[in-house]
């Protein structure tokens, strides 16, 4: 056997799928993170967001299984209704939790944190489907499925959850009435993508969906980056840092002098 055959047919061939998903996930993270030019988010917090995305898979899976037992057993209902509703809801909960942090300032931060949650969810889900395909149909099927799912990752889960995050960020600066204003958008885009996957024998439904997502992503990024630039040029970030530095110093002073006891 050749070296390539040893890799493909050996006991560690699952690493190929892991590498494919790892590369696509890395590209996705860099794509969104590079848009954050004026006040970079803490890397630790972004890692937490990514982990939250992976963690959101488990409640999504449990609730989806319960709903599939209650509702008629149907692939269409599962993919187009249950999956978008349940998955986007639990990812929304994760971004909402992250929004309590002082570093979460507005729409762009929301989009960044949301995309990290979405990237974590996508990485975990893609790995699951890739390994499952490998076990059922061999390394060829596993690599194919992992590659296909990874090719559209930037405009998949990270984009859907990024939209939700942008909505939460807008709410934090009083541009939205509710933190969940953009949740229906994410659910709708997710449902549209899953619907288009039912027409794999047709090229145009998927192509139209991809083009629509790219247009919407560009629009969301343009608006969010513009607002972030305005915040930077107005001195918001500089004043925010001074405020939190002052508050932290004052809090430590009070604690050290036992004023609260």
Is 217 a domain residue? yes
Structure tokens at 2: 């050749």
CA dist 52 to 28, 65, 90, 91, 118, Å?
16, 20, 10, 8, 9
Measured between alpha carbons, how far is 140 from 48 in angstroms, rounded to an integer?
Answer: 33
Is 261 a domain residue? no
Q: Give the residue numbers spanning the domain of 12.
A: 3-256
Is 9 a domain residue? yes
Judge contact between 113 and 47, C-beta under 8 A.
no
| Torsion-angle region of 39 (φ positive above 0: left; ψ -120 to 50: alpha; else: beta) | beta
Extract the residue ranges of the chain whose pLDDT is less than 50.
1, 3, 5-6, 259-261
Query: Using one digit for the tens of pLDDT, what is the confidence trace for 122-164?
Result: 999 999 998 888 888 887 888 888 888 888 888 999 999 999 9
Q: What is the pLDDT of residue 3?
A: 46
Measured between alpha carbons, how far is 16 from 147 in angstroms, rounded to an integer?
Answer: 10
Structure tokens at 113: 């944190």
Percent of the chain with pLDDT over 90: 49
Judge contact between 228 and 108, C-beta under 8 A.
yes
Is 15 a domain residue? yes
Closest CA to 36 of 221, 238, 235, 240: 221
Write out the H or E segment, with its range, that includes residue 106: none
Closest CA to 112 of 161, 63, 74, 59: 161
Looking at the structure of the chain, the number of domains it has is 1
DSSP assigned state of 234: T
């Amino acid at each position: 056997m050749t070296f390539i055959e040893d890799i493909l047919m050996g006991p560690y061939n699952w690493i190929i799928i892991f590498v494919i998903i790892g590369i696509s996930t890395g590209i996705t993270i860099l794509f969104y993170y590079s848009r954050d030019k004026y006040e970079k988010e803490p890397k630790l917090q972004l890692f937490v967001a990514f982990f939250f995305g992976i963690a959101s898979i488990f409640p999504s899976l449990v609730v989806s299984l319960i709903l599939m037992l209650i509702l008629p057993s149907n692939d269409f209902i599962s993919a187009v209704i249950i999956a978008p509703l349940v998955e986007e809801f639990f990812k929304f909960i994760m971004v909402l939790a992250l929004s309590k942090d002082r570093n979460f300032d507005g729409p762009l931060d929301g989009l960044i944190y949301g995309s990290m949650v979405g990237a974590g969810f996508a990485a975990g889900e893609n790995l699951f489907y890739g390994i499952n395909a490998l076990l059922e149909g061999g390394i060829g099927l596993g690599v194919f499925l992992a590659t296909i799912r990874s090719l559209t990752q930037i405009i998949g889960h990270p984009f859907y959850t990024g939209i939700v995050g942008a909505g939460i960020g807008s709410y934090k600066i009083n541009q939205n009435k509710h933190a969940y204003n953009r949740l229906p958008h994410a659910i709708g885009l997710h449902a549209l993508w899953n619907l288009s996957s039912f027409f794999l024998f047709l090229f145009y439904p998927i192509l139209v969906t991809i083009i629509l997502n790219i247009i919407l992503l560009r629009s969301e990024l343009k608006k969010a980056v513009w607002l972030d630039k305005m915040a930077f040029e107005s001195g918001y970030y500089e004043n925010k840092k001074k405020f939190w530095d002052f508050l932290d110093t004052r809090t430590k002073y009070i604690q050290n002098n036992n004023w609260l006891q």
